[in-house]
Amino acid sequence: MLVFTVPKRVKQNSRVGLAIAYLSLGSNLGDRLQYLKKAIKEIEESDKISIKKISSVYETKPVGCENQPQFLNLVLEVQTSLGPLPLLERLLAIEKEMGRKREEKWGSRNVDVDILLYADLIVNSDRLAIPHPRMHQRKFVLVPLAQIAPQTLHPLLKKNVKEILEGCDDNSVVNIFIEKI
């Protein structure tokens, strides 16, 4: 069952039903930059999603799946009139169109797209957890997110992204690979 908890007024423009969400993109197979570019294009061309900000691209060591190639990671700020689940469906469809198979949870991937935050919603369901349950522990997420949204609040931790990054004890190296994709 889908449980939505709305801690306070949903930061959504109720007249037009628009929400700001943050997405994490990663690739560690083949032409990683091309895969990220293609995923960005697919997201931008999606109905009801528009991209507002794009972080730099960072090269990062794999976390949780150590014997794998290095990742390229970035974060997008999007505005969407899709709810969290329809947004997830659209992102999964893009991953699938781009050839991602999700059989292996920690396997290499040509592209992976995760929802980090969706307005100030808290979602806990079998299919979706928002905020992303590990985002506060991962520098490969926090560094690009802090670049484009340092003041954005994590609705569970009640801290902004900059504060979470400063307190994060992941000491993996997250280097800029290219400033502007």
Is 9 labeled as catalytic in the residue annotation? no
Catalytic hit among 15, 32, 90, 100: 100
With CB under 6 A as the contact rule, which of the stretches 6-14, 64-72, 92-100, 122-130 interacts with ligand GSY?
A: 64-72
Q: Does 35 bind ligand GSY (CB under 6 A)?
A: no
Task: Give 7 or 107: the residue with its C-beta nearer to ligand GSY.
Answer: 107
Provide DSSP, the chain: --EEE--SS-SEETTTTEEEEEEEEEE-SSSHHHHHHHHHHHHHTSTTEEEEEEPPEEEE--SS--SSPPEEEEEEEEEESS-HHHHHHHHHHHHHHTT---SSTTS--S-EEEEEEETT-EEE-SS-EES-TTGGG-HHHHHHHHHH-TTPEETTTTEEHHHHHHT------EEEEES--
Residue numbers 90-109 binding ligand GSY by CB under 6 A: 106
Q: Does 65 bind ligand GSY (CB under 6 A)?
A: yes
Q: Does 137 bind ligand GSY (CB under 6 A)?
A: no
Q: Does 71 bind ligand GSY (CB under 6 A)?
A: yes
Q: Does 144 bind ligand GSY (CB under 6 A)?
A: no
Catalytic positions: 100, 109, 112, 114
